Structures are given as C-alpha cells and as structure tokens.
Amino acid sequence: MGHSAAIWDYRAAVEITKDWNGIDQAVLGNPQGASARVSLHGGQVTSWRNEHGEELLFTSSKAIFKPPKAMRGGIPICFPQFGNCGSLEQHGFARNKIWMVDDNPPPLHPNDSQGKAFIDLLLKPSEDDLKFWPHSFEFRLRVSLATNGDLMLISRIRNVNGKPFSFSFAYHTYLSVSDISEIRIEGLETLDYLDNLCRRERFTEQGDAITFEAEVDRVYLGSPNVIAVLDHEKKRTYLIRKEGLPDAVVWNPWEKKSKSMADFGDEEYKQMLCVDGAAIEKPITLKPGEEWMGRLQLSVVPSSFCSDQLNL
C-alpha cells in the first residue's frame, strides 16, 4: 500500500467533466476506488463515496439541480452569511455562484497536497455582488480526497478591500445516515447552544450525547475540533475534524418542516443529518490584506473504534 501510494499520480486522479446542466465539475478518485465530485456551481461537493462505491453524503431526491438555486444536499458553502441573520439571501451568495478553477493558488502546507487528489477553486465578487455586499475578497477553496478516503475542504478568504469586513461561514454538510432515530452525536455535550427554533435563545446541552426525536436546529458554541456522528445500524462513525470553525450547527428538519420544503422529500429527514463546522456566533473580521482559513476533514471509521481513541 505504501509503495502504490508513493507512485500514485494525483493529477491523473482528477478529471474535469460536465454535469447535466453543462456546468464543469471535478471528479476526484483514489487508488482504492473512493471518489468525490465537486461542482463549479457553488464550489459545492455533491458526492463523496467510499471504496465500495457507497454514497456518504445525502442529496434529496427532489433536489433542484439548476442554477442559480443551490442543490439540497452535499456540502454547500455558506458565505458571507449563515441562515437569514443578515441582509443577504439565505446562507449568502457563494453557494449560488459559478467558481473558477484556480490553476496557480498560493501554496498550502505540503501535507495538504501529498497523497491526495485535489482541485483548487476561486471565487471573486462580481459587480452585482458588490452592490449587495460591497467588499472585495478572494475566496480560495481546495477540496481533496486522500488515499484513505478522507475528504478535506480548506477555505482561504482574503480581504483585498480597502476597509475591514466581517462574515459568517459554514460547511453545510449533509451526512447520509441509515435512520435518524438511531443516530447519536458525541463531542457536543455540556456546551451552550443557540436554538433557532426558539428565536436563537441560549441553552446548555444536558444530554450525554445528542439523539433525535423531533426537529433540531442549533448552533453549538465553542465546540471541540473533533465531533463524532455514530450510526448504530451501519456500525460506522463519521468523524468531523475542523480548524478555524469554533461553532457546530446541528440540523434535522423532521416531519413537519420536511413537508414544507419543495426540494426535499416528505420522509427524507430519516436518512440525513446536517453537522456543520461553522463560524457564526462571533463573525470573522478581516482587516485589509488579512486572510482567514477554515478546514473541514471528514472520515468514516467502524463504530467499534471507541470514543476514548477520538479524544472527544
């Protein structure tokens, strides 16, 4: 395995194709057969499959795959606003824009390239964007797939404006799960959270793990850099590792909300869960020339890999 990884040509493991709307997408692969797909519409990861070809991200069967609307599923990027807590459209505009392939990005640490298939994307504001949000920025996104199947997203946002600006951010990650009533999240116990179902009132998590029996829409504050989502039925655990993202959003719409969403199936809430690495409570402020970086790494391990080993 070490030898094959050493001679693996990551460049050959990245293919640019067109989706059914004629929009470019990057398909990443690794030697074991895992894959990821990234659309230039929104810089959105639309698929992440393990070496058995099993899809690990949820996409609604009723998702609308037509710009400018963001697709319901995968990993939409929420920038420069999360939710409707500002003057912009829901979750900001980045997820609705066409990004460019960045052929010559400023270098990242060698560990972010070695043994990975990756694509670098770039978003700059259009004239229209500047009318609604008058701040010049460069948003660089690297999406990579490692030889072990891990998916990583690295965002770098630079202020190229003459004055400071602030933004909120989230990787709005739709995980595919077997049955939401069998899911538990570890790593968020005892934390304070803002409850979006109670006008963002602040509460403290009382459970020793988060489980689901009704709609949940919360922003957990000051969350650890590793969160585990345990899927009892599939005997597997998603590990969410994050840097530069102090908050964690947990969302499942449950039955009533599901029926009110046109691009979401009535029963699909049972097969999905959003757990987002985010910066929401305290917006990020960049002075002219400053850059912010936020990373998300997704892994899947057998659930027998106990919590003690995760340093939760």
Question: Binding site for substrate: residue ranges?
Answer: 72, 90, 95
Using DSSP, how many helices (H) and how many strands (E) does the chain show? 3, 20
Q: Which residues does the annotation place in the binding site?
A: 72, 90, 95
Cβ contact 138:124 at 8 Å: yes
Residues 119, 122, 225, 237, CA torsion sign: negative
Beta strand pairing call for 183-186 and 116-123: unpaired
Cβ contact 128:243 at 8 Å: no
Cα Rg of the chain (Å, integer)? 19
Q: For residues 161 and 131, give the distance between their C-alpha atoms in angstroms, rounded to a whole number.
A: 14
Q: For residues 260 and 231, give the distance between their C-alpha atoms in angstroms, rounded to a whole number.
A: 27
Tokens of 120: 């670098």
Report how far apart, in Å, the C-alpha atoms of 261 and of each of 138, 197, 257, 269 are.
33, 16, 7, 11
State CA 8 to chain mean position distance. 27
Residues 218, 173, 120, 9, CA torsion sign: positive
Q: Is 108 helix (H, G, I), strand (E, B) or coil?
A: coil
